[in-house]
Amino acid sequence: MRITTLKKSLEEQRLDACLVTNLKNIYYFTGFLDIEGAPLSLLVPLDGAATLFTPPLSYEAAREKAGNCLVEKVSKGVKPFNRISKELADRQFSVVGFDDLPIARYLQLTKDVASTRLSHIPSLVGKLRRVKDEQEIDFMKKAAELTDVGALAGMECVRAGVREYEVAAEIEYAMRRRGSEGAAFETVVASGPRSAHPHGLSTDRVITRGDAVVMDLGAVYHGYRCDITRTVIVGKPSSNQADVLNLLMEAQEDAFTAIREGVEAKAVDRRARTVIAEKGLDRYFIHGLGHGVGLDIHEPPTLSPESEDVLEAGNVVTDEPGIYLPGFGARIEDTVLVHERCGEKLTKARYFEW
């Protein structure tokens, strides 16, 4: 079905075929997800069956999972990409779209297949992937449940005397024990002054009383990712900390109520930014409000002041305002499914208690 949709777009764009080498795109079209770095290629011609070219060690698994296309084992001793070069040369297409080629591969093709024009069409596949179907939404809901498990484990573990990496380990362990395929991205546990760094990862810093601790994490289920951030204060929050956290909750909620099909992504961003600006803190909100999530942790559409995107039902986006003052930062984030008339929060873990 997804391959049929791709073929329709190929026809509209007057392309003879599409060469798909991004592994998540290959999974999206065939149902076969290989490990990072595996040299797979999916060739989808406008006419005829799609073929997935795999090295010998991926062949059996690919045949089991990819039921909607031919699967060809590239002979041992033949470099998988040389096989693609030959295939394209044999078929003599005039224009072939591609999603994602390293520059060296691109140069190889322009040399080996000089009669074929290559056209970079990342948005063609991106446009399909950003609207999730029912099965993808089921997977994302499950990923969200596992993500909540991680967030709660993190909140339970945070206390004075514990190191950031211990909290990160507890978060990831809790998610994996319940069925997560791994961490959706490098878990962030950023405490004290490090809370001011939006992508703080986790270090050996010992958490102390009075710290803000930003935990940004996500689980993976059937390849689908989810994203949540919670910020907790160790002990009683200062009035400044409490003000910032309350402001973030208000900004997040205000933006959330604007989410629905047809709304401009930048308008959703503006809602959160306006709430924060009312307290004069908008210059400390140094990133966009959110991003699409799916097989990739960051994918279209983007919620930011510069975004040209318009939300569609079936998009899954984050709603994550943050304020980063010198020495103290905070962010809260939930993953939201866009419906025709409203948004639906997929992540539901409690915020914090004091």
Task: Please give the residue ranges that form the binding site for Mn ion (CB under 5 A).
Answer: 227, 318
| Nearest residue to 260 (alpha-carbon basis) of 317, 320, 298 | 317
Between 197 and 236, whose beta carbon lies closer to Mn ion? 197
CB 247 → Mn ion: shortest distance, Å?
A: 19
Contact 178, 214 (CB under 8 A): no
Between 121 and 183, whose beta carbon lies closer to Mn ion? 183
Q: Using CA atoms in the order 266, 307, 224, 285, what is the torsion angle rounded to 10 degrees? A: -60
CB 229 → Mn ion: shortest distance, Å?
A: 7
């060739």: which residue's tokens? Answer: 43
CB 226 → Mn ion: shortest distance, Å?
A: 10
CB 187 → Mn ion: shortest distance, Å?
A: 12
Helix (H) and strand (E) counts for the chain? 10, 18
333: its two tokens: 């984030």
Helix axes 265-277, 239-258, angle to 10 degrees: 150
Between 105 and 291, whose beta carbon lies closer to Mn ion? 291
Which single residue brings its beta carbon nearest to Mn ion?
227
| Nearest residue to 267 (alpha-carbon basis) of 300, 308, 227, 299 | 308
CB 331 → Mn ion: shortest distance, Å?
A: 9
Between 30 and 147, whose beta carbon lies closer to Mn ion? 147
**85 Cβ contact partners less than 8 Å away, ≥ 6 residues apart:** 108, 109, 112, 113
Between 227 and 254, whose beta carbon lies closer to Mn ion? 227
CB 178 → Mn ion: shortest distance, Å?
A: 21
Between 30 and 252, whose beta carbon lies closer to Mn ion? 252
